[in-house]
Structure 1
Amino acid sequence: MANISSPEAPLPVGKVSTLIGGWIDRLGSVWVEGQITQLSRRPGAGVVFLTLRDPQHDVSLTVTCFRAVFEQVAEVVQEGSRIIVHAKPEWYGARGTLSLRASEIRLVGLGELLARLEQLKRRLAGEGLFSAERKRPLPFLPQCIGLVTGRGSAAERDVLENARRRWPAVRFEVRNVPVQGVSAVAQVSAAVRELDEHPEVDVIIVARGGGSVEDLLPFSDEALLRVVAGATTPVVSAIGHEPDQPLLDFVADLRASTPTDAAKRVVPDVGEELAKVRQLRDRARRHVLGRVEREQHGLDGLRSRPVLAAPHRMLGGRADELSGLLQRARRTLGHRLDHAESDLGHTLARVVALSPAATLERGYAVLQRGDGSVVTDPAQVTAGERLHARVAGGGFEVTAAGEG
């Protein structure tokens, strides 16, 4: 600089800014650690702005990155987080400002671990492994429970004691495996597969007591999560305490806050069930008694009606009505018979009056020729012809005489 500038020949500001930019470009990408003191994410903007500060030396730098880079850690990064960025220094000559263009962001220590877990969580959620539709319901009363837990652990004791206290007849298939360390994932996965294939196991509980995030890492391992997701037997996750939430909690069919809670949610309480049975029985008894009382009340109401309270009254009334009808029928029939007898007498009188016998009774006679024909004209008879005369008392033969 001294060789190319002097008080008599100073460099322009623009030239100095260009030289600084050239030197910075030759620096290349670097890894930088610092604390986020300011974070700016504008909706719709493709670039995110951060201010990275070194608390020890009280120095700050502006960091920019594309939104896609920041989204990889967006769930676990906030103001105050310590991060490591892989960035290339950039000099903005027009303003004379220095910034870092980040191509990768990592959290320091535990933060980086949480970021990786968050990325895995988003990926598995995108595949539908956490969806409520794929979760299987637990059986109401499992006959046999598969338990995957550490040997002699408090989690094993809590599950067994609480489950048997609630339902003494419940049976267990226990698989004791390491629940932390390098072999935990493989052995827990193998135990889950074995119990899933067991024909008598109705539900599987994976249980472990509390611990640090690092201790619970096996229960966020992708291989184990896919084994649980592929099981046909319902799986209950009972890892740690209430604040602990490994990814197994999201894949399992049911998440229990503690191993004790798992026992309570998987096995019904025999006392509570007996109380429910008594309540239902009492409710059924009240319902039946109420129905009987309603029907009895209705029956009493029907019996209190006159027609049922004194049914003989109706019979008496009907008997009187029947007697009246019978008398009326008899009178009517008598009148009809009397009228018919009178008509018959009149007809008989007329018949008698018009009868030829009556005429004969008055002294008349009927003459019949030999062929049976009645003589109605003297010209029909010849002298000396034999005729039959019929009178009221009988008949006799006569001979016709000539005209006198």
Structure 2
Amino acid sequence: MTGSSSGASLPEKAADTSAEQPWPVRVLSLKIADYVDKMSPLWVEGQVVQINRRGTTAYLVLRDPDVDMSLSASISVHAIAAMGTPLDEGARVVLQAKPVFWPKRGTLMLDARQIRPVGVGDLLARIEILKQRLAQEGLFDPDRKRPLPFLPRQVGLVTGRGSAAEKDVVENARRRWPSVRFAIREVAVQGSTAVAEVSAAVKDLDADPEVDVIVIARGGGAAEELLPFSNETLLRVVSEAFTPVVSAIGHDVDTPLLDFVADWRASTPTDAGRRVVPDAEGELRATEQSLARVHRALSRRLDHERQVLQALRSRPVMADPTALVTRQRELVVGLSNRSRERLLTRVLRAEDEVRHLGARVRSLSPQSTLERGYAVVQHRDGRVVVSREEVQRDELLRVRVARGDFGVRPVAGPDGGPPASAG
């Protein structure tokens, strides 16, 4: 039965459990405790984020520097004293410990026997290994670098709370461009929470559409104080950002891995303030110089065009702008006169031809013949008499002369032959 099964009837292995035969919580806790108890002592590395001393025992909270995971550990204060150096929060250490699981509380912790500090030399060696690995992945390639905007609408600044680095960036930027706007995120820049806070600030600013460039600034310090800026988690957050990032960590001699991943490296926070915005006075001088060059170029062009225009106007045709029109008018008038003369000549010649033709027509017309004394004799039906045999005796004929006509009747001739025409 569920929840009331006796120990004898419980499954021996986790794979044998089911909804009908589950393990009670106490059994699972005991199983885990038994499994953990069989683990051998081991060495583990972490960053001390909390220390509580209670009598002869110290309780530590160890955090993984790269991810947000932590474990509790207990150790004798005498073991801590044997380190030879003070143990402070934020220190990187290695512990020799035995994992212990407490069934009643369901918690896992470390029972430490030895503790050793991680030296700066060891940390730098690990950073060098990480540097080589990230370089092989291409995170340092120049092709990935994004250009910084000429004049950002807003500059995102990730820096320490009330730090001198913040003052250096803001004052130097506003000295160059007084109207520059900042979105400032004050975070821890050293210690156990630095990586998480800086990463969160970068993501927040990268999501702001008004922020065109992000500056991560911190003043100088010891090598171990700058370790968060060589942390892989932070480096990958910066490499995945869409907004260009400027690294301004420490002094010129400080080279955290953030300098290689960022889009631009500033030697100091002051240098970053000068880099993210243009120099207003310099831009004004450059603008004035450009305007002067444009003015000189336009003046030279106008002088050249004026000379060309004067050369054109000095030509005869341009000295008297109407000369060309006058010559063309004279040509048109001459052609018009010649056309008129030719037309008149042809008309007069045609008139002469008409007169000659008229004279010829008149000379050949019957009227002219009549005026010379001839007459035309016609029958009553209008037929012209062309032979005397056509004429009958006493037939009324019509005689047409030059100025009128009259009728006649033929009579017989003396010989009694055919009648002859009268008069």
Taking structure 2 as the reference length, the TM-score comes to 0.65
Aligned residue type for 1:394? G
Q: What is the correspondence of 1:5-404 to structure 2 with a 5 Å cutoff?
A: 110-404=120-414
Q: Displacement of 1:279 after TM fit?
A: 1.9
1:323, distance to aligned residue in structure 2 (A) = 4.3
> Closer, same or farther in 2 for the Cα pair 1:176/1:338, shift >3 Å?
closer
Q: Where do 5+ consecutive residues of structure 1 fail to align?
A: 1-107
Shift of the alpha carbon at 1:310? 0.9
Deviation for aligned residue 1:110: 4.3
Moved more, 380-389 or 301-310: 301-310
Instruction: Please say if residues 382 and 402 of structure 1, whose CA atoms lie closer than 8 Å, have aligned partners that are also in contact.
Output: no
Quote the Cα distance in structure 1 between the aligned partners of 2:341 and 2:323.
27
- After superposition, give the CA deviation of every residue in 1:298-353 in whole Å (9 maximum; x if it has no partner): 32232222222113333443444344434433433343233223222322221221
Between the aligned partners of 2:297 and 2:364, the Cα distance in structure 1 is 93
State the AA in 1 paired with 2:197: Q
Q: Secondary structure at the match of 2:146?
A: coil
- Which deviations, in whole Å up to 9, do the C-alpha atoms of 1:57-114 show, x marking residues without a partner? xxxxxxxxxxxxxxxxxxxxxxxxxxxxxxxxxxxxxxxxxxxxxxxxxxx9544333
Distance 2:361 2:209 in 1: 115
Aligned counterparts of 1:144 and 1:262: Cα–Cα separation in 2:
14
Partner Cα distance (2:185, 2:340) in 1: 104
- Mapped partners of 2:332, 2:133: distance in 1: 97
State the AA in 1 paired with 2:283: E
> 1:215-274: per-residue Cα shift (whole Å, max 9, x none)?
211100111111111222221100111121110011111111111111111011111111
Q: Please tell me whether the aligned partners of residues 158 and 259 of structure 1 are also in contact (alpha carbons under 8 angstroms).
A: yes
The separation in 1 between residues aligned to 2:302 and 2:152, in whole angstroms, is 39
Give the superposed CA RMSD.
Answer: 2.1
SS in structure 1 of the partner of residue 322 of structure 2? helix
For 2:380 and 2:316, how far apart are their aligned partners in 1? 88
Taking the aligned partners of 1:326 and 1:176, their CA distance within structure 2 comes to 98
Over 3 Å counting, the alpha-carbon distance change for 1:173 and 1:318 in structure 2 is closer
- TM-superposed deviation, 1:184: 1.8
- Equivalents in 2 of 1:336, 1:302: separation in Å? 47
> What is the aligned residue count?
297
1:284 counterpart letter in structure 2? V
The whole-number CA distance in structure 1 between the counterparts of 2:363 and 2:208 is 124
For structure 2, list consecutive stretches of 5 or more residues without a partner in the other structure: 1-117, 415-423
